Structure formats: C-alpha cells, structure tokens
Structure 1
Amino acid sequence: MARAGRPPQDPARQIERAHRILDAVAELVLRWGYDKTTIDDIAQRAGVAKGTIYLHWKTRDDIFAALLRRERVSLVEAVRDREPATLSELFGEFSRALLRRPLLHVVLSGDSEVLGKLTRQKRENAARLRIDGPFEAYTARLIELGAVREEPGHHVRVITSIVYGFLFLPGGLTAGPPGELSDGPADGGRPSDDRVADLVADTIERTMSTGKPLDAAAEKAVADATLAFLDAAAELAGRKLAASLGTEPVSTGRRAK
C-alpha cells in the first residue's frame, strides 16, 4: 500500500496534481499576495496533504518558479497559435498575450502588494522580455532577407524599450484593470489591450523595418523564420517547465495542419 501523502506513481495523475497545486498557488497569490500565502493555504485550496506539496517542490519559491514557467509556456503557445508572420506581428501578439495574463501583469508591474519580497527579483527576471529562443539568429535571418534594418543594432534592447514603453505608459498596465476600454491615455483611461498590442506592432514595424517591399519568396521565408523561432522558444519553455515539475518534456513543436 502506498504511504499517505505520497504522489501517485501514474505520471498522468502526478502531473495533474502538480497543475492543480499550481492553479491553487495562482489563485491565492493574486487574492492575498505571495507573502500571505502559506503552504497550508495551498494544500487546503488544492485538496492535497501538506507533505505532498513538499514531494513536488522544496520551497514556496520553487513552487512560484514553476508557476511562472507554466505562465511562460502558456504565453509562448498563445503567441505561436496566432501564427505571426513578421517581427512586428510577433511582438504585437506577445504584448496582446501578456496583457491577458493577470499573474504576468503583477510580475511585470512589480506589484509589491502581490509579490511581496519577490518584487525586485521577479521584476528583474521578467524585465528581460524573454520569449526564449535563438533570437539573435532569428533577427540575423530577417536582416539577411531584407526585412529588418541592421542599424542601429541592439535589436533586443530596442524592442524591449518599445514594448515596455507602451506597457508602462500612463494608461498602460498600471492604470486600470486589463481589458478596460477607453479612448486612450488622453482621457485619463486605459486603452484596450488590443489597442496597446497594435501600437507595439506598429512602432516596431516603423523602427525596425527597412521599408522596402519583399517579394513573395522573401515574405514566406520571414514567416517561416518567425514560426521556427517560436517553435524553438516553445520547446525551451516546455523543457524548463518539465524540469520544475519533475516530468519528461512534452514536444511543443508546431502542430501539423
């Protein structure tokens, strides 16, 4: 007979329970904040024994790291499902998907009431704007195809400045509940998430594009490179999540049509 509190040996049941625990953590952290969320609270909300949680993770910080990795997988998958075909579309969709995830809202805004002692650590981690993957190789390919300017260089820094500039402008992430509609910051309200994402995409296009029309072959090559980058990002995010869950990574390659 299995000992009380021991995780089930069936991998499917084990991973289901891990995700149930993470669901509880997400709910409690958003409701009460990280500092006030205890292991006892998590166990009660998830319907598991306290000892079971420690068999999955050693500390609260480990649990929260797993939760953020799961959020990152969800984010990358959402972007990839939209099948962006250009650099500007990629980060427009990145912004759109990010704005629709409350937990990432508080991480990116550094909300101290929610994150507590993790505020500095997690905001600095998020501030790297990580859609993980071979981004330098991706941008080099777009430059080669004539879709992106080589100057001024520092593409990651430029894109990060654009995305975060729009997310943290008055009327951005910190100015109202996600999804609230308004005419924009000029009226003191918050623009819609879709409007913010469209502005990000438009600004990146104007800043990074060569402005030269591409032929059909080059357009297809750019779209293929964008999806290949997202496939690589999804694979890496999935491996990191699997490491946090103690499971084998599941292939997240682009699904066949």
Structure 2
Amino acid sequence: MAQQNRRESRQMQTRERREARAQRILDAASTLILHDGYDKTTIEEIAKEAGVGKGTLYLHWDSREALFAALILREKVAMAEDIKQRIAGDPVGASLHGLLKHAALALMQRPLLKAALLHDTQVFGEVIQREQGSTLSTEVLAGFTAYLEALRQQGLVRADLSLHTLGALFSSIFTGFFLAVPFLPDAFKPSDEELAELIAETGHRTLEPRDPLPSSSLQMASHTLKQYLDRSVASAQEQLQVGDQAKVEDDRSRAHRSVRARGRKGGRSKKLKTVAQVDQVRRLYADKTKSIEEICSTLGISRASFYRYLKDARPGES
C-alpha cells in the first residue's frame, strides 16, 4: 500500500509539473501572438519565450495549430468563469442585457479572445476561420439557444422575435459595438465601463419587454444561465484534457514501438522505409503550409532525417 501511495504521489507530481509547463507555454504563445501575430509566431520563438526546448513543447502539442486551439479553449474557460462570478453578484445579471454587460466586461480583460471573436486578421490571419466550425463552438451555440428559449418561457425577451432573430441581434449588438469603437472620434469614445453599459442598454431596448423583469423569472433564468456556462466550461476543459491525454498516449506508443524496433534490429530504426513515405516528405515540404518542425513532428522523424529523406526524394522529381 505504501509503495502504491508513493507511486501515485509521483504520478500526481509529474502531472502537476506537466500542467504547469503547459500553462507556461500557453502564456508565452499568448504574449507572442498578441505582439507579432499568429502567422509570424514560430514554434521556436514560443519555446524560447517559455524557457523550454522545441522537443519539450512537442510533448504537449503536435503542431502550432493544436497549440493555438488549446490556447483559445483556455481563454474561453477563463472568460466563462469570469462571467459566472460577475452575474452572481448582480440581481439582473442573468437577463439578456445583464449577460451582454458582463460578457463585454469579461472580454475586455482578454485581448486574445477579443481578437479571435472579432476575426482580427492582424493577430490571427486566416486560421481563426476554422475555429467557428469546431465541435465546442457548435455545443456552445446549442447551449445559448436553450438559454434564449428559457428566457422566452419566463417572459424575459420579446415574444414577437424568433430565437434565430434574438440570437442574430444579440451577436450583432455585442460584436457591433466592439467593431465600431476604433472608428469613433476621440470625443465620442466611451470608457470600458461606459461601453459595457451602452451594449447592455441597447440589448435591453431591442430584445427585452418594456415592463420590469419579475424577480422570480430572473431566478429561473439565473439557474439556466449557470447551467449553460457550467456545461460550456466542462466541455472546454474536457477537450483540453482529452487532447493532452491523447498526446501522452501517442508519445508512449511511439516510444514503445521505437524500443521494440531497436530490440529486433539493433540501433536506431529507419522511420521512413517506403518510396511513398519518402515521397510524402517531398510533398509536405513543397506544400509550404507546415514548418519543417511541424513536418518532422507529423512524421515522427528528426530534422536530420528530414533533410536526408528530402535529399533521397529529389532524384525522383526529375
């Protein structure tokens, strides 16, 4: 029993160190992407900023795209938790205009997520377009629609507007103000708090009935909103954990196969053996959408092996 406890303790310490290292890498990626933009931020720069080697970084994510997806998921979890805390202290926080206000204030604290929401191509280039079709985004949309339906049942939104229209107006009001602010004359630019109030007021006048909102209905809405945010956080955290666990298992499996190959033949095994595999090196290199490090990670080979196989592939090109 004591030996098992020590083993479990060591495993927990290893997980904690791995998690702390992953968060440090994500912090570094966030800093660099905000400063230089996604397209100009390389794996080498992220690793250097985080104080780890490239190989260590690849223990967590196979590519820059996978790291970016984890970074956005982390930002979404943090924002949802922030919103939950804000609405908990506001009697009308669960109303549609309350959610608009607190979501705006939470987003202002997260410039990276704000850039993603507004499709800021200077920060993210075209990569952010793929985020809209993610499984998590679909789940979040479904949960938000259920929240709108609960508001309708409680008489907290206009009954003459469809759920589709309510969602479209909510999104337009929220993103519209953020998009408009940079173009306003300095004399008209609101502070962060004023902007959040303007967004909330516009939402109230556009989406909610004119009569005062009953407190009993707001309590029901608060319960529904909390469930929606809890599910959103749980889904994002599950995807983060599943992705990290899959990477750990893949690394273990790859290491096991390598050991078995060396045991049978001695020395290092040749990673790419067939003409088709060597040709894949040439195609990936010619495609120019992946860095050399990303190609090596995808194929499970070293940088030196990459150049050797690329050299082997070239005679076949003529």
TM-score, structure 2 as length reference: 0.64
2:16 is matched with 12
The answer to whether the 8 A contact 1:18-1:245 is kept is no
Distance 1:105 1:229, change over 3 A: closer
Whole-angstrom distance in 1 between the partners of 2:109 and 2:145: 27
Whole-angstrom distance in 1 between the partners of 2:14 and 2:72: 25
Say which one has the larger Rg.
Answer: 2
Whole-angstrom distance in 2 between the partners of 1:12 and 1:237: 19
Distance 1:132 1:238, change over 3 A: farther
Instruction: Kindly provide the amino acid, as one letter, of the partner of residue 168 in structure 2.
Output: R
Indicate the structure whose relative CO is greater, using CA pairs within 8 Å and at least 6 residues apart: 1
1:166 is matched with 177
Equivalent positions of 1:1-257 (< 5 A) are: 10-83=14-87, 84-118=93-127, 120-121=129-130, 134-153=143-162, 154=164, 155-169=166-180, 172=181, 174=182, 185-188=184-187, 190-246=189-245
Higher helix share: 2
**Match of 2:40, SS?**
coil
Equivalent pairs: percent with the same residue? 36
Whole-angstrom distance in 1 between the partners of 2:131 and 2:220: 36
Instruction: Kindly provide the amino acid, as one letter, of the partner of residue 159 in structure 1.
Output: F
**Match of 1:58, SS?**
coil
**Residue 70 of structure 1: how far off its partner (Å):** 0.6
Whole-angstrom distance in 2 between the partners of 1:189 and 1:123: 32
**Residue 120 of structure 1: how far off its partner (Å):** 4.5
Whole-angstrom distance in 2 between the partners of 1:230 and 1:207: 24
The answer to whether the 8 A contact 1:82-1:93 is kept is yes
2:276 is matched with none
Distance 1:229 1:32, change over 3 A: same
Distance 1:78 1:162, change over 3 A: same
Instruction: Kindly provide the amino acid, as one letter, of the partner of residue 113 in structure 2.
Output: L
The answer to whether the 8 A contact 1:76-1:233 is kept is yes
**Residue 68 of structure 1: how far off its partner (Å):** 0.7
Unaligned residue ranges in structure 1 (runs of 5+):
1-7, 176-184, 248-257
Distance 1:191 1:215, change over 3 A: closer
Whole-angstrom distance in 1 between the partners of 2:230 and 2:199: 22
Whole-angstrom distance in 1 between the partners of 2:24 and 2:222: 36
Distance 1:114 1:85, change over 3 A: closer
**Match of 2:125, SS?**
helix
2:299 is matched with none
Structure 1 runs of 4+ with >6 Å offset: none
**Residue 237 of structure 1: how far off its partner (Å):** 2.5
Whole-angstrom distance in 1 between the partners of 2:214 and 2:126: 52
**Match of 1:136, SS?**
helix
**Residue 150 of structure 1: how far off its partner (Å):** 2.6
Whole-angstrom distance in 2 between the partners of 1:75 and 1:115: 19
